């Protein structure tokens, strides 16, 4: 298994190909040779990303079958099932890198801001469960001057939510925290720009 630093390098190189409109031969070959993965997998990175249809991790990082262990949930929030999924992959496959992948114009974060500004009694309790996980990160920003600039408020809230999810993974699981302390795992945040296609790693 490659190291976390090598994994980040591979993701950055893949993202550069994506932005340039180029696909690697390796990615294409892996799709053709999908039978090779029937017996097992060895993903080099775990991605906890948003469910947004515009942010498919395998595509924006130009990776093929078996390369990434991807967990997707609206707002890239961290709940017990997401923590368990990361623990599962880190322990079973020995994958050394976890990336919490958020993105610009995130609808879940925008919904949280909207809920804070105009509380609604009509939202589904399931949707509110997502909003409630993002709320503690966004609420403090309303006490700053950002509340007067909707665009900057959303941008800052998205950034803060990524860092909060990263921190939750690092400290919300004894297993993951031990692996990080032992140098067996690295957890970083990253933000994908819908406007440019670039992924900015928040190392």
pLDDT of residue 40: 79
pLDDT at 34: 72
- The parent domain of residue 166 ranges over 4-202
| Structural contact between residues 66 and 76, judged by C-beta atoms closer than 8 angstroms | no
Tens-place pLDDT, residues 64-81: 999 999 999 999 999 999
What is the mean predicted confidence (pLDDT) over 193-199?
98
- The count of structural domains within the chain is 1
pTM equals 0.93
What is the pLDDT at residue 160?
Answer: 97
Reported confidence tier of residue 176, pLDDT bands at 50, 70, 90: very high
Percent above pLDDT 70 for the chain: 99
Helix (H) or strand (E) holding 32: helix 25-32
pLDDT of residue 17: 96
**CA–CA gap between residue 57 and residue 47 (Å, rounded):** 7
CATH number of the domain that residue 138 is part of: 3.40.1050.10
Tokens of 99: 């990336």
Cα radius of gyration rounded to whole Å, the chain = 17
pLDDT tens profile 16-60: 999 999 888 777 777 767 766 777 789 999 999 999 999 999 999
Question: In the prediction, which pLDDT does 158 show?
Answer: 98
pLDDT of 39 reads: 76
pLDDT confidence bin for 142, thresholds 50/70/90 = confident
DSSP for 91-157, please give it: HHH---EEEEEEETT-HHHHHHHHHHHS--SSS-HHHHHHHHHHHHHHGGGGGSGGGG-HHHHHHHH
Confidence (pLDDT) at 120: 79
């Amino acid at each position: 298994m490659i190291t976390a630093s090598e994994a980040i390098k591979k993701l950055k190189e893949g993202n550069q190909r994506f932005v340039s409109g180029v696909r690697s031969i390796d990615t294409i070959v892996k799709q053709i040779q999908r039978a090779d993965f029937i017996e097992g997998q060895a993903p080099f990175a775990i991605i906890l990303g948003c469910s947004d249809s515009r942010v498919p991790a395998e595509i924006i990082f130009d990776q093929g079958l078996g390369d990434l262990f991807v967990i997707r949930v609206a707002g890239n929030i961290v709940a017990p099932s997401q923590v368990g999924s990361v623990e599962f992959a880190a322990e079973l496959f020995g994958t050394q890198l976890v990336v919490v992948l958020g993105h610009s114009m995130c609808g879940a974060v925008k919904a949280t801001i909207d809920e804070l500004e105009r509380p609604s009694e009509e939202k589904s309790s399931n949707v509110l469960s997502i909003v409630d996980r993002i709320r503690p990160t966004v609420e403090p920003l309303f006490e700053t001057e950002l509340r007067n600039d909707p665009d900057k408020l959303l941008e800052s809230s998205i950034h803060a939510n990524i860092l909060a999810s990263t921190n939750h993974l690092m400290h919300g699981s004894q297993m993951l925290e031990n692996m990080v302390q032992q140098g067996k795992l690295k957890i970083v945040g990253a933000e994908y720009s819908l406007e440019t296609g670039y992924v900015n790693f928040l190392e």
